[in-house]
Amino acid sequence: MVNKNATLFLVATPIGNLNEVTPRALDVFRNVEVIACEDTRNSVKLLTHFDIHTKLITYHNFNEENSTKGIISLLEEGKDVALISDAGYPLISDPGYVLVNEVINKGFNIQTISGPSAGINALVASGLNTNHYLFYGFLNSKPTLAKKELKELIDFPYTLIFYEAPHRIEKTLKMCLEVFGNRKAVIARELTKLHEEYLRGTLEELTTLTDIKGEIVLLIEGKINEKQEISLESLLPQVEQLVKQGYKTKKAVQDIANEYNVSKNELYNQYVKDK
Ligand code: SAM
């Protein structure tokens, strides 16, 4: 009989600094039957650092189907399994999607164990809009297809997050400038590591940089919506109207702020100040 009590743990691992693994993640690593990872040579370093010797098996893009079957068999025997990738969250520009779907279909438990993810680390320090964003991950490695992908994002009004390899970043920046025009952008490199650095500017400024090394997240401001230029004062009558209709102030502010793509906190403060 299938044992539905077994759990697949999706565990985030450090994106550089080994101290960014949580005590909870270490407990999971110690207690599961096996840890499925992209590259055992890489993951064994992390586990040895914490004196953990749980069995590692590979789960990567080229054996996803087969490895999924093996992991499902373990879960059927009631054995817990952890899935990790080389860095950050599994499934975020990393393997795991096939397995997670199969585990859901078969009715086993899934739990996530939190940790860093390069895109989120980069976003919060970027200085770009964090209210809404699109995590895109890697663009296609073929320039013509990458350009097509970028064109599909032209009208998207929120911050765009890309992963990029150092040998492609200069070409990608030029392509982004060509497609998006001169928007604000940020290169976040080597996050959590010794040479962590944020290069902030416009796309035009960033295209003058050369020899950008290390692991890179590229963030680009979304399309500026003309509505963003609107003054907060001009929106107050609309907030007031909703309040008169019976909306709670916070809800009225939120709806108008969302409609005009302005900060709800700033609009709220302005509304309260004007009262
Ligand atoms: N699963 C990972 C995550 O949750 O962030 C992403 C894995 S993806 C294969 C690797 C890419 O993530 C790198 O090419 C780079 O774009 C980005 N990345 C990973 N670690 C990073 C770091 N320490 N600093 C900046 N970017 C990083």
pLDDT in tens, 56-109: 999 998 899 999 999 999 999 999 999 999 999 999 999 999 999 999 999 999
Atom nearest to 196 CA in ligand 1: 24
**pLDDT per residue as tens digits for the range 146-204:** 999 999 999 999 999 999 999 999 999 999 999 999 999 999 999 999 999 999 999 99
State the DSSP H helix or E strand holding residue 171, giving kind and residue range, or none if neither: helix 169-180
11 close to ligand 1 (CB < 6 Angstrom): no
The arithmetic mean of pLDDT across residues 14-25, rounded, is: 97
Residue 1 has pLDDT above 80, yes or no: no
Q: Is the CB of 93 under 6 A from ligand 1?
A: yes
Site of tokens 């969250």? 89
- Separation of CA 216 and ligand 1 centre (Å): 7
Q: Check if 191 has its Cβ closer than 6 Å to any atom of ligand 1.
A: yes
Whole-number Å distance, alpha carbon 123 to ligand 1 midpoint, is: 13
Summary mean pLDDT of the chain? 94
Tell me: pLDDT of 260 over 90: no
3 vs 22, which has greater pLDDT? 22
Single out the residue of 75, 82, 77, 74 nearest to residue 108, CA to CA. 75
Question: Above 90 in pLDDT, residue 114?
Answer: yes
pTM over 0.85? The answer is no
Distance from residue 251's CA to the centre of ligand 1 (Å)? 37
Distance 264 CA to ligand 1 centre (A): 32
The per-residue pLDDT for 230 is 78
Q: Residue 229 above 90 pLDDT? A: no
| pLDDT at res. 268 | 94
Percent of the chain at pLDDT exceeding 70: 97
Residue 231 — pLDDT band, cuts 50, 70, 90?
A: confident
| Ligand 1 centroid from CA 119, angstroms | 7
